[in-house]
Structure 1
Amino acid sequence: MIKKDAHFDYVFVFSLYLIGVLLLFAYGFSRLNSEARERESWVSQQMTDVISEIQHFYEGKLAPSIPITDCDRFLQDSMPLLLSSPYIRSINVAHGGVIVCSSISKQTLKQIKNWNASGKQLELRYVTQTPFSELFPTHRQAILSLHFEKNRFYGMYIALYPESVFRTLGAPRFLQTVMRFENATFYSDGRIVDELNRLPSEQFFSVDSDISTTAFAKYIFYNYGVLLIAWTFIMLMSAKSLVRYLHTFSLDYWRIRKAIKQNQFHPYIQPVVNDCGEVTGGEVLVRWIHPKKGVISPADFIDRVEENGQIVEITSFLMQKCLSAFSKVNLPEARQHFRVGFNVCPIQFDSNSLCQDIENFQSAMADKPISLLIEMTERKEFSSNDKYRKAIHELRSRDVLVALDDFGTGHCSLKYLHDTEIDIIKIDMMYVATIESGNTEILDNIISLARSLDVILLAEGVETQAQFDYLKARNIERYQGYMFGKPLPIDEFIQKYLM
């Protein structure tokens, strides 16, 4: 039997909600990463430009002045470099570990603590203690140190403010941009961490981003919080509708769809007889002939195909097969006025397919004494009385007989009787079964109602002689049940009853 746990639908809806949230998070993360890359590129470019500017200015203007003979003249020549960038703090020339000329102390000698020649021509290092620490006790700085091969004791120290690059960039709202030097890491929130960083050969620094989980969460809620709340609200409001939709369009839908394409649905016909036991018609019943599972009863799939609309295509397919089979039959006189009954539900009146199928069937049977009976199933209710009346009017305008199937077990049987004229009432087998127990009050009331409306009665599910005798005594016109014949494939039915 085809079933689907409703819990799966809710899990699927919740998963759909999570997918939406994850897509939002993914988009936000992509945007945050894009912003991080832009900040990294900008910081890297700023540092690269200032280092390149220092190198070019040093080589063109300052290198020829070293060793220094006139500090004032040297400082005057270096002033354009000092003023060219907000990231340059000072320019200093040292000899043997002693600063001999500085834009800060001029010619006042300042000893460099723990000085040791590195042997590198160009070096960028962070130092916590400088010769001017007493002047700036709370300031920490990175030093760009230029050394010259011609005299290992002479060097130029240019103090930079890497944190000034971050200040120019602007304070980060949700992410940290990080500059890593050989012996220190600078964060855009102002933190400086003494640590050794492995940098590629001849690379003075690297730039990357540090995006914490907390920062990412803040970014998402700050920029997409309204959208997230809206998505949550939409999913909460539409959850039940989505569950109903998913309940309809499930894996079963695609299995049934495949079965339709592979012609696995076939018409079986159960005979309908009069009180003399003569076959006067038959009800077309669908059977799913599965290549592996065999014959699948309508009880296992009919509700699903009615919910998802596949019943329209299945009914059309059954009518075409019946039309093809009956068009080859020449009814003997004893079998005149044969009625073929098809079950339809309200959803089938929402398209033109049913009316077209009826028209095709009647046209093909025009020269044969075979009439069409539409049995209105009560498993589903019409959305309005107007739609129901319109449907009945459409059938009657095409000279189609109308029966109420399974009367008293579904939706609004009495309302349907009140609003329109019905040709046949089919008594459900559950009421026929009460004959054995003697509890026939409802059955008798149905019979009495039909007599007051002058409507033909057809008893379904007649299986015993006692049931038949009881119904016949009350002048029931038509019978259907295993006592008279079980549903047969259409070709077998025709061979047995109509040939």
Structure 2
Amino acid sequence: MSKEKDQTSKLFSFFFTTIGFILIVFVAYFSFTHKANTESKFVYDRFNHMLKEFDKSYHNSLEKFAHSESCTTFLVQANNVILSSSHIRSIGLVENGIITCNTISGKSAIPLEDTLDMGNKTVEITFVKQKIRSTFNSDHSGLIVVHFGLGNESIVGFVLHPKEITEALRNTNSDFSNFIRIKNTIISPDGMSWIAEPKDIVVESQQTSLFSTGYYYSLMSFSTFLVRDYGYILFLWLFAGVAIANHLYRYLSNVDLLTLKIQVGIRRHEFIPYLQPLFDRSGFMIGAEVLVRWKRNGEILSPYHFIDRAEHTGQIKEITTHLMVEVASKLKLYNQNHRSIPLHIGFNASAVQFSDDMLLNDCRQFQRELEGQNYSLVIEITERLELPGESIYIQKINALKEENVLIALDDFGTGHCSLKYLHQMDVDYLKVDRSYVKAINSSNYRIELLDNVIDLAQRLNVETIAEGVETEAQEQYLRDKNVTLYQGYLYEKPISIEEFIDKYIKTS
């Protein structure tokens, strides 16, 4: 049991700690993504602000000069726009796929590497790969160009300054990186076109028809963030899990796990009735003793595993209530459409059940359920525990007798003060314990005790029931002693109530 308690406390500690870890990781992830989304929103707002600035400059200062035949006039206006903005590296004029005018090279005739056709759009953004020696020198470097115009004639292109890209995408948090996506190209904080690695997690958080922004990170970077920002909480939670496990173990050391399991079994209706038939001298079945079995985790457990504890804790009261309700309902259900036969139905009751009126009320309910049918209710008083004070005990027995409940003294001669109880109560049956029956045909002193018990019952005019009859020799000996009722594996083992009804009541 100590090992089971230790395992239970460890399992609970593991469960508690695991759930806590999951919650902490979830909170950390929420905080992580919230920070990343906030940064991404900032990048989005900054680029959106630039686009609005370019749009205003185009319509206010450059649109009317886009169709001018004079490159000089266009460049004057374009340079004025560049001087008023820190975001613009250069401005160019594209006509039919050729750069005809540019603030860096002046009047020119440079063909575009990629064909640009605005179609019906008045604004477009592209990423043009180009080595920029002053800033980057890589095959992945390039420029973001914002185009204004219509179709493929007289398009004005605003080239963002590369430093603006790095400034906009830079963040103070090293756990993740911002990006801006132009069509199918992702641009990283270093201004390079970038392809995501398999280990990277890419999240696109803000999006327009022209561009989108987001962030990317690796599991390693998130783990670093988790340990750095939430490590102390994880440690405290782990410490709490160990402390709770220790506390739970101490608690369980003072709590009987079997008692808790029995209570759960009662709540789940796991205690079920098994009936062992009772036979007369002619071999006719005249009734049955209701026994209890525990159907737990697919197994059928005998009373050996729980009955002593259930009696000691008083849980046997609830178990008996359930058994009486179950048996009454099954017998009543069958007899609604069939003629009932006379039957002796016995239930065991221990000393603790005479401390209140619960047993009496259960008996009354049982008789109400089967009212008008030929059943005799018998309470078999076991002697595993000493009965309560004499006055209470006699009062409860008399109350049962007033309700026409028959009384049997079970396990006679093996328990507490059998002779005293036999003289104090009005007993209808005396059940000879199986240990005496087992002594038949042996030289054991118990055979003499058996003879005395049978003789005493006959002199008191109390009907005797022999328990645990397993051999024909035992049966013959008891017949010779004029014992009238028999119970044991020689006749039938305990069976479920459904099988009892099918095998004995339906065929009677």
TM-score by length of 2: 0.49
TM-score by length of 1: 0.49
